[in-house]
């Protein structure tokens, strides 16, 4: 069964450094998402992406964040200058296009630790 | 706007006894509702979903949930807990529209005692 994959599983970085979190969505999916979960808090929506552009973003997704689909398989989340409060588990998800296809399939997550 | 409240942050059950995880939602339109499960060091796995067909929804691993519009609830149940059910469970609401960002509840951690 196809799965969403994410790399790395754990990333440790210094405050102010740039990080890129990588995701490989399921191959015939066309909608892509990033969510995050700060320890002890709810899973929060960050951004959705369709047809090579952002379709919706949350207040969290400020100018320090960007997303890209650099090729036909990868979907990346970049944080330009990390802050301590960016430490969280980041989940990628993808979804097919079409009727009755609102199920999002999640990857295992990348745990980001900012020191 | 939409929101989800999971009424119990932790639930402890004995193996073989029923499990009930409570979820209430708020939505300004007719939503889709989901339950996801997260086992340690694993991703979020879909258990079941409601999308306005039958109000009683059956999912994987013997779980089911009932959509009650009058109570704005979508509680998850399983008649007999198994040790492998120990995990965190998330109730999730989504608009039935393109884009459909998910709104998560706070999660319920289930402990299964032998």
Alpha carbon of A19: minimum distance to chain B alpha carbons (Å): 21
Mean pLDDT of chain B: 91
Q: What is the pLDDT of residue B57?
A: 93
- For residue A101, pLDDT beyond 70: no
List the single residue in B41, B102, B105 with the smallest CB-CB distance to A104.
B102
List the single residue in A45, A103, A106 with the smallest CB-CB distance to B43.
A106
Cα distances (angstroms) measured from residue A98 to each of A5, A19, A66, B96, B102: 23, 33, 26, 12, 17
Q: What is the pLDDT of residue A96?
A: 87
Task: Look up residue A89 and give its DSSP letter.
Answer: E
pLDDT-based confidence at residue A72 (cuts at 50, 70, 90): confident
Residues of B in contact with A91 (CB under 8 A): 43-44
Give the total residue count for chain A: 115
């Amino acid at each position: 069964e196809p799965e969403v994959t994410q790399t790395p599983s754990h990333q440790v970085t210094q405050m102010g450094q740039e990080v890129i979190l990588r995701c490989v969505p399921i191959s015939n999916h066309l909608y892509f998402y990033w969510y995050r979960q700060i320890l002890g808090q709810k899973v929060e929506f960050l951004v959705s992406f369709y047809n090579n552009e952002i379709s919706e973003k949350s207040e969290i997704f400020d100018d320090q964040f960007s997303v890209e689909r650099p090729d036909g398989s990868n979907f990346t989340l970049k944080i330009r200058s990390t802050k301590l409060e960016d430490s969280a588990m980041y989940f990628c998800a993808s979804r097919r296009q079409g009727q009755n296809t609102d199920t999002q399939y999640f990857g295992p997550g990348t745990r980001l630790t900012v020191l | 706007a939409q929101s989800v409240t999971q009424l119990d942050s932790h639930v402890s059950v004995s193996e073989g006894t029923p499990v009930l995880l409570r979820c209430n939602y708020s939505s300004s339109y007719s939503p889709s509702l989901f339950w996801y499960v997260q086992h340690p060091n694993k991703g979020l796995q879909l258990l079941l979903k409601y999308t306005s067909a039958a109000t009683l929804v059956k999912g994987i691993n013997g779980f089911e949930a009932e959509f009650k519009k009058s109570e704005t609830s979508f509680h998850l149940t399983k008649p007999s807990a198994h040790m492998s059910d120990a995990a965190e469970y998330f109730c999730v609401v989504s608009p039935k529209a393109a884009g459909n960002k998910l709104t998560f509840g706070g999660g319920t951690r289930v402990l299964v005692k032998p």
